[in-house]
Amino acid sequence: MINNISEITIFSDIPEDELQHITPLLKERHFKKNHILMFENDESEEVYLLRSGMVKIYRMYEGKEVVLSIMIAGDITGEVEALSSDNHRISSIEALENVSVWQMSKQDFLHIVDKYPSVLRNAYKILVERTRMLNRMIRYLTFYDVRGKVANLIMDLYYNFGTNNDNVYKIDLKINQSLLANMLGVTRESISKTLGDFQDEGLIDIRDKHFYLLDMDLLESICNETEEFPTLRKWYNS
């Protein structure tokens, strides 16, 4: 749980004594798992600062959900639309678990941007990171077979949500097969088969929806033909 607004990436460079002017602009909100905070193409102006929990960002195409990314505590959403003259939402946001946010209006956010140039610089950095991630996902969708897609996404998830305790490599995020399928643009059946193959080969183990990486070298070897490197797999550089 984030309790200090300075831990929100986009505001991290604002002097501590100045943050007291921003706090009154925030409204605390809580959303249950599966609640949709915003729908793509809807008109709204709220900016959300994620304090706890995780949300997924997705779009719908021909009735199918395409997951673009996952956001975690410390992140911000809605800032791109706030900085644009068009208030239509670019994508939908859904809570993957119970989440807590600070909500602020577009007008208040733009006032902060005008007063603190560092916020705009950080917004640009965040946008670049998201663009880099989307470019990587597009490459997965376009050029890799299912085995390569799944191996790369598992490694991405590990480098963003992984823990290493006594050489036990765990992705500290509950993952269901539908989420993986929607991130990679493949069927749930393809995901199920590939994960089963990986388990049979001793690459991974899955317990209580948590992934354990049993052979990092072999997983990396499946990714060898790609352009991915550990340092470039990070979605969040804060």
Q: Of 139, 167, 201, which closes a domain?
A: 139
97-137 confidence digits (pLDDT tens)? 999 999 999 999 999 999 999 999 999 999 988 888 888 88
Domain that holds residue 70: 5-139
C-beta of residue 104 within 8 angstroms of C-beta of residue 26: yes
Asked which of 104, 139, 174 is the last residue of a domain, the reply is 139
Whole-number average pLDDT of the chain: 90
111 and 59 belong to one structural domain:
yes
Domain count, the chain: 2
Q: What is the pTM of this model?
A: 0.86
DSSP track, 84-142: SS--B-SSEEEESS-EEEEEE-HHHHHHHHHH-HHHHHHHHHHHHHHHHHHHHHHHHHH
Q: Is residue 237 part of a domain?
A: no
Task: Locate 169 and state its tokens.
Answer: 């490599």
238 within domain boundaries: no
| C-alpha span between 92 and 139 (Å, rounded) | 22
- pLDDT of 238 > 60? The answer is no
Q: How confident is residue 226, by pLDDT bands cut at 50, 70 and 90?
A: low
Confidence of residue 62 (pLDDT cuts 50, 70, 90): confident
pLDDT range class, residue 23, cuts 50, 70, 90: very high
Nearest CA-CA partner of 50 in 19, 10, 106: 10
Q: For helices 117-143 and 106-115, give the axis angle rounded to 10 degrees.
A: 110
Same domain (yes/no): 120, 155 = no
Q: Which of 118, 139, 160 is the last residue of a domain?
A: 139
Give per-residue pLDDT as tens, 204-216: 999 998 999 999 9
Are 135 and 190 members of one domain?
no
Under the banding of pLDDT at 50, 70 and 90, the label for residue 234 is confident
Asked whether the predicted pLDDT for residue 225 surpasses 80, the reply is: no
Q: Compute the distance between CA of residue 226 and CA of residue 68 in angstroms, rounded to an integer.
A: 20
Residues 116, 152, single domain; the answer is no
CATH number at residue 173: 1.10.10.10
The C-alpha atoms of residue 58 and residue 67 are separated, in whole angstroms, by: 4
pLDDT tier for residue 224 given thresholds of 50, 70 and 90: low
Specify burial of residue 126 (Cβ count, 10 A radius: 0-12, 13-18, 19+): buried
For residue 96, which of 45, 158, 136, 37 has the smallest C-alpha distance?
37
Structure confidence at residue 63 (pLDDT): 85
Residue 234 to residue 238: CA distance in whole angstroms: 10
Same domain, 192 and 92: no
**Which pLDDT tens digit goes with each residue over 166-177?**
888 999 888 889
Which neighbouring-strand residues pair with 179? none
Is the pLDDT at 228 greater than 70? The verdict is no
